[in-house]
Homo-oligomer: A and B are copies of this chain.
Amino acid sequence: MKTKNQAYITAFGQNLKKLLDAKGKTPEEVAAHSNIETKQVYRVINGEHAATLSVVYALAKGLDIQPKELFDFVFAG
């Protein structure tokens, strides 16, 4: 992978925050309902960590949504 796409990683995190807010869930609650650590949820939200497929699946489980819903945002990359 030549270039990391920080803009997309940031956009994903911002969308994740919107989903948490819309569901009235905290990063702690999402972490509790999936096997990810709370600090990792925060790092994905803040665009500091590029989620892998396993984290994507766990986040969706923690939010009780389908993984594809985590990618349902406009990004003019």
Contact = CB atoms under 8 A, between A and B. Distances in A.
B53 A9 contact: yes
Given A51-B52, A68-B72, A57 B35 contact: no
B53 A8 contact: yes
Interface of A: 1-5, 8-9, 12, 35-37, 40, 50-58, 61, 66-72, 75, 77
Nearest to A55: B1
Copies in the complex: 2
Contacts of A58: 1, 5
B1 A37 contact: yes
A69 to B, nearest CB: 8
A57 B72 contact: no
